Amino acid sequence: MSRINKAFENKKAFIGFLTAGDPNLDKTEEYVLKMAEAGADLIELGIPFSDPIAEGIVIQEANIRALSAGTTVEKVFATVKKIRQKTDVPLVFLTYLNPVFHYGYDGFLKKCQECGIDGLIIPDMPYEEKGEITDIAQKYDIDIISMIAPTSEERIGKIAETAKGFVYVVSSMGVTGVRQEIKTDLESIVEVIKKHTGTPAAIGFGISKPEQAEHFSKFADGVIVGSAIVKIIAEYGENAGDELTAYVRSMKEAVRG
């Protein structure tokens, strides 16, 4: 069983996101470990990109902070290697296609495997284009995580059927960012996904509060939180450890229901 499967084994998963290198990579290592200890079942590490078109302002700014701090793909790999020596928490990268393409698909995915990365989320690589990377990913045992959006409609079937790791269900229209209210009928979307695949489905985009986490965990296999975590890091900088621990604990608690 892969590490990602374990994250969903007999439980609802709490998935946390943070941008690697924000505020610096030493802190990223510390924060990932803190989040894992506090109960995060899977952690998404963002490799910063200059132009993250699927991100709202909170994560855009984290990308800028990380790049300004000198974060590079190679340095992120080195950090992951260190993290992997200390924890078994499933780790996936979230980044845009260009840094991966530029590094070279084969080299990048090989390195992912060597460092202990389990999956890869690329918001600007939809179903139609993922063919250029899936075979290589399979060779190195890296799951390419597929996304399903409120607008996916009849596309849900084919996306779900080929999904690996987990299905990332985008809760709302627009970009990432904390939302007061999520109106999409996610229960129906998850229901359709379940008809097509046994791969777990986790909901992300806009979730920040324990009530939301609790609600979505009733029908989804997990919830993903990004902007709310990045906001804590933006506010507390190098001293965000305790805040992150408390926040992740409260969310994990909510997911348990």
| Residue ranges that bind other proteins, judged by CB under 8 A | 49-51, 53-54, 56-57, 60, 64, 67, 72-73, 96-103, 123-129, 146-153, 155, 159, 170, 173-175
Q: Which is nearer to other proteins, 55 or 118 (CB)?
A: 55
**Spatial CA neighbour of 159 closest among 173, 172, 145, 141:** 145
- Give the nearest distance from C-beta 60 to other proteins in angstroms: 6
Q: Extract the tokens encoding 93.
A: 């990268």
Q: 38 or 45, CB closer to other proteins?
A: 45
Q: Which is nearer to other proteins, 33 or 64 (CB)?
A: 64
Q: How far is the CB of 242 from other proteins (least distance, A)?
A: 31
Least distance to other proteins, CB of residue 2, Å:
23
With CA atoms as reference, report the closest residue to 220 among 242, 205, 230, 235: 205
Q: For other proteins, which is the closer residue by CB, 3 or 71?
A: 71
User: Looking at beta carbons only, is 45 or 244 nearer to other proteins?
Assistant: 45
Distance CA 168, CA 13 (A): 12
Minimum distance from residue 52 beta carbon to other proteins (Å): 8
Q: Confirm if 228 and 246 have CB atoms less than 8 A apart.
A: no
Closer of 108 and 216 to other proteins (Cβ): 108
Query: Considering the complex, what minimum distance in angstroms separates the CB of residue 10 from other proteins?
Result: 29
Name the residue type at position 148: I
**Region at 27 (left for phi over 0; alpha for psi -120 to 50; beta for the rest):** alpha
Nearer to other proteins, 149 or 220 (CB): 149
